[in-house]
């Protein structure tokens, strides 16, 4: 009887260990779950480390959304960071940017009014840390958003927020002939301020258009971009 009890106890301990191990492995592959206490909305977040081509400069980008499948689709391959050296402007560095151009769809293309009216999912991006060489003052970021093959649901809104009480310049440029980019830009002068509009949503950017807005007193910028397909725009926030 004692041998049988010992056997079953051992079997139970082994089964529990396997369950705990599987649960641990599963959680490592899932974005962190965070509950926003402000509006009781569940938000999934994922922090991604991204290096430039030299591997000498890096940032950590936080991706968040209310749909875990959206967050899970992002990896370091969906971003390209471009170092901006001291003494150079972002616009100067991006002069030679070369991004392959593609059609928005394989046939049907909405009008501007239809595109603006689409109720698109919103995805949030925030650079939470930077590790830059001494000769680099900042980075510009090109997004290679995951593709959505369903053209009727492929518009998305990407919200980019700047560092608080650090950044005073918001920069964005469109670099696609066919893929449309619409933007809205807001800022808070102080932490206690409400959001004030700089550019009302949704302003359409033409190819090679540049927006470079400066505010001497700025707590934070919020740049919202509505587009579809990938690598149609590059942006940066600068001190």
> What is the pLDDT, as a whole number, of residue 107?
52
Asked whether the CA dihedral 207, 125, 36, 168 is positive or negative, the reply is negative
> What is the pLDDT, as a whole number, of residue 94?
85
Q: Which residues have C-beta within 8 Å of that of residue 154, sequence separation ≥ 6?
A: 105, 148, 228, 229
> What is the pLDDT, as a whole number, of residue 32?
55
**Rounded CA separation 216/95 (Å):** 26
Return the bridge partners of 214, or none.
Answer: 169
**Rounded CA separation 132/124 (Å):** 23
**Rounded CA separation 191/14 (Å):** 53
Q: What angle do CA 233, 172, 146 make, to 5 degrees?
A: 30
Each residue's pLDDT, cut to its tens digit, for the chain (239 residues) gives 544 444 445 544 455 454 444 444 444 444 454 545 555 667 899 999 999 999 999 999 999 999 888 899 899 999 999 999 999 888 888 876 655 455 555 556 778 888 888 888 889 999 999 999 999 999 999 988 886 544 444 788 999 999 999 999 999 999 888 888 999 999 999 999 999 999 999 999 998 899 999 999 999 999 999 987 666 899 999 98
> What is the pLDDT, as a whole number, of residue 189?
97
**Scanning the structure block, which residue is given the tokens 């053209």?**
151
> What is the pLDDT, as a whole number, of residue 40?
60
> What is the pLDDT, as a whole number, of residue 22?
47
> What is the pLDDT, as a whole number, of residue 126?
96
> What is the pLDDT, as a whole number, of residue 34?
55
> What is the pLDDT, as a whole number, of residue 9?
52
> What is the pLDDT, as a whole number, of residue 43?
87
> What is the pLDDT, as a whole number, of residue 194?
97
> What is the pLDDT, as a whole number, of residue 235?
95
Q: Where are the beta strands (DSSP E) in the chain?
A: 32-36, 41-51, 58-65, 79-85, 122-131, 136-143, 156-161, 169-174, 181-188, 196-205, 210-214, 220-227, 233-238
């Amino acid at each position: 009887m004692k041998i049988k009890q010992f056997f079953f106890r051992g079997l139970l301990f082994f089964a529990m260990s396997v369950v705990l191990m599987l649960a641990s492995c599963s959680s490592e592959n899932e974005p962190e779950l965070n509950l926003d206490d402000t509006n009781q909305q569940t938000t999934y977040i994922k922090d991604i480390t991204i290096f430039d081509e030299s591997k000498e400069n890096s940032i950590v980008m936080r991706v968040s959304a209310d749909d875990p499948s959206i967050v899970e689709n992002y990896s370091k391959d969906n971003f390209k960071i471009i170092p901006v050296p001291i003494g150079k402007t972002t616009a100067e560095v991006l002069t030679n940017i070369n991004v392959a151009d593609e059609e928005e769809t394989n046939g049907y293309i909405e009008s501007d009014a239809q595109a603006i009216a689409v109720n698109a999912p919103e995805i949030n991006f925030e650079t939470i840390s930077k590790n830059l060489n001494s000769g680099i003052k900042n980075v510009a970021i090109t997004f290679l958003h995951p593709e959505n093959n369903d053209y009727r649901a492929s518009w998305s809104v990407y919200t980019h927020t700047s560092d608080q009480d650090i950044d005073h310049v918001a920069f964005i440029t469109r670099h696609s002939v066919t893929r449309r980019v619409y933007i809205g830009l807001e800022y808070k002068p102080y932490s206690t301020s409400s959001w004030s509009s700089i550019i009302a949503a949704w302003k359409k950017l033409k190819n090679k258009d540049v927006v470079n807005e400066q505010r001497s007193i700025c707590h934070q910028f919020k740049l919202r971009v509505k587009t579809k397909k990938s690598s149609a725009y590059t942006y940066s926030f600068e001190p």
